[in-house]
Amino acid sequence: MAKKELYINYDIESTFWGEPGTLSKIKNELSKESLTAEDELHVIINTYGGEIFEAISIRDYFNSLPCKKSITVSGICASAGTEILLAFEKKYRNITKGSFVMFHPAMGGVYGNKYDMQKVVSLLDKLDNEFLVNYKKNLIVEVENLEDLIKNEWWLNADDFVKYFGGNLIEGKKEIANKVKINNTIFTETMAKFEKLKNNGGPNKRPFNLEKFKNFYKNESK
């Protein structure tokens, strides 16, 4: 069983002038792994958003993967990024204390005549309606003025996000250590890196106390 971590800590962009878009970057990184139903993929997201249709493609790509999937907001997940976040099952959504999630109406622009502008307005209306349906589907409590909140940008801190959309709040060293212990992904990878430091020394060839580091995690996870 393979465990893979994927970091999305950049704007969500489509392919432009030959430059690969965000979906291409994600596919390139995950193509190194052959993910099966027994494998686990953990996504750590920190993005202000970007292009909505690229985000929808990323959402669909993640949904197509046969492996077990989870996601953690670490920093901010805003705008188009929420389309990716809400694609994950509620029980596999995590958010760290101090992080934020932000929802707002679809945005766009056009240069042209009034008919061109009307087309864009019509598209934005359709997108907003799609978003609203998706948000309502994911809410775990009823929010009467949801549309008004989104019109004015709806900012949710970690506690608010869990309150309205469910998921898990990661708070403090002890809980983070427990998450690491349960998932066994970050901890295992970190141990492997520090084993090398133990054998080879750090950047300045100073000895590294591996046992002290292990004891720290044992104490924090009690």
Q: Minimum mean pLDDT among 31-35, 82-86, 199-203: which range?
A: 199-203
pLDDT, tens digit (0-9, with 9 covering 90-100), for 103-142: 999 998 899 999 999 999 999 999 999 999 999 999 999 9
Q: What is the mean pLDDT of residues 162-167?
A: 97
Residue 180, number of CB atoms within 10 A of its CB: 18
Residue 173 confidence (pLDDT) above 70:
no
Name the pTM for this structure: 0.74
Selected from 3.90.226.10, 3.40.50.720, 3.40.50.2000, 1.10.1060.10, the CATH number assigned to the domain covering 3-170 reads: 3.90.226.10
Name the most confidently modeled range: 131-140, 192-201, 213-222. Answer: 131-140
CB 174 within 8 A of CB 168: no
Contacts of 136 (CB under 8 A, 6+ apart): 146
Which carries the bigger pLDDT value, residue 206 or residue 27?
A: 27
Which pLDDT belongs to residue 101? Answer: 98
Angle between helices 186-200 and 172-183 (to 10 degrees): 90
Distance CA 222, CA 211 (A): 17
CA dist., res. 128 & res. 66, Å (int): 30
Confidence of residue 203 (pLDDT cuts 50, 70, 90): very low
Domain ranges of the chain: 3-170, 176-220
Region 157-178 average pLDDT: 82
Can you tell me whether residue 6 is helix, strand or coil? strand
pLDDT of residue 184: 46
Please name the residue that has the structure tokens 């999305």: 8
Task: Show the tokens assigned to 201.
Answer: 């020394």
221 φ/ψ angles, rounded to the nearest 5 degrees? -95, 5
Taking only the tens place, the pLDDT of each residue in 20-66 is 899 999 999 887 667 889 999 999 999 999 999 999 999 999 999 99
pLDDT of amino acid 7? 96
